Structure 1
Amino acid sequence: MFNNQVKVILYAQDVKKASEFWQTLGFVLISLDEIDGSLVAEVAMTETSDTHLVIYDRQFVENNSGEAVEPSPALIFSSDDVVALYKELKDKGIQVGEIAQIGEEFVFNFVDADGNYFVVSGQ
């Protein structure tokens, strides 16, 4: 049976830089390990979060895996105060899109260090 823990793989040009980006957003570093000469970072919203982002070096995976590196997944993060989070990310110099209202929810996107887009939705 499945449990509540979910790990989402992200590929990055620079694992350390990508990990630092997520930590800038308030994520915590769960682990930073070297595997066969390549860094792998795991970050989560909190130390007890059931969802973790595992960041692999894109070039390492492309060179050592028989399968192609998939594009980044489309992730939608939830927030109880979208406007405050938007302002916080903007103040930290994170590239953000405009806030839009869809029904009763607010939505915006932001870009990580590798140019991947992520969405935030909520009140």
Structure 2
Amino acid sequence: MFNEQVKVILYADSVKKASEFWQGLGFVEISFEELDGSQVAEVAMSQNSTTHLVIYDRAFVEKNDDEVTEPAPALIFGSDDVFSLYKKLQTVDVQLGDLVQIDKEYVFNFVDLDGNYFVVSGK
């Protein structure tokens, strides 16, 4: 049976910089390891979060299996206070889309250092 733990793989040109990017958005680094000559980082919204992002070195993965790194995942993060989160992200170095209302929800997007696109939705 499946449990509530979800890990999403992201590929980055620099695992360290990608981890720092997510930490700058308020995530915590769960682990940072060297595996088989490559770096792997795991970040989450909190230490107790059941959803983690596992960041692998793109070049290392492409060298070992060039079909694994595409397409990039499309993630939608939920927020209980989308306005405060949007204001916070405006203060960090992140490519940020407009905050728009769709029905009763508010939505915006952002892009990480490696061009991965993410959506935030909430009230």
Alignment TM class, shorter chain as reference: over 0.9
Identity %: 69
Which residue number in structure 2 is paired with residue 70 of structure 1? 70
Which residue number in structure 2 is paired with residue 18 of structure 1? 18
Q: TM-score, normalised by structure 2?
A: 0.96
Letter of the aligned partner of 1:8 in structure 2? Answer: V
SS at match of 1:53: strand
- What's the CA shift for 1:23? 0.4
- What's the CA shift for 1:69? 1.6
Cα distance in 1, alignment partners of residues 66 and 93 from structure 2: 37
Find runs of 4+ consecutive structure 1 residues off by over 4 angstroms: none
Cα distance in 1, alignment partners of residues 122 and 100 from structure 2: 11
1:86 partnered with 2:86:
yes
For structure 1, which segment, 25-34 or 68-77, has the greater mean C-alpha deviation from structure 2 after superposition?
Answer: 68-77
Q: TM-score, normalised by structure 1?
A: 0.96
Q: Which runs of 5+ in 2 are unaligned?
A: none
SS at match of 1:91: coil
SS at match of 1:16: helix
Q: How many residues align?
A: 123
- What's the CA shift for 1:66? 6.3
SS at match of 2:52: strand
Cα distance in 2, alignment partners of residues 48 and 88 from structure 1: 22
Cα distance in 1, alignment partners of residues 66 and 78 from structure 2: 34
Which residue number in structure 2 is paired with residue 103 of structure 1? 103
- Correspondence list, 1:23-38, <5 A: 23-38=23-38
Q: Which runs of 5+ in 1 are unaligned?
A: none
Which residue number in structure 1 is paired with residue 5 of structure 2? 5
Q: RMSD between aligned alpha carbons?
A: 1.0
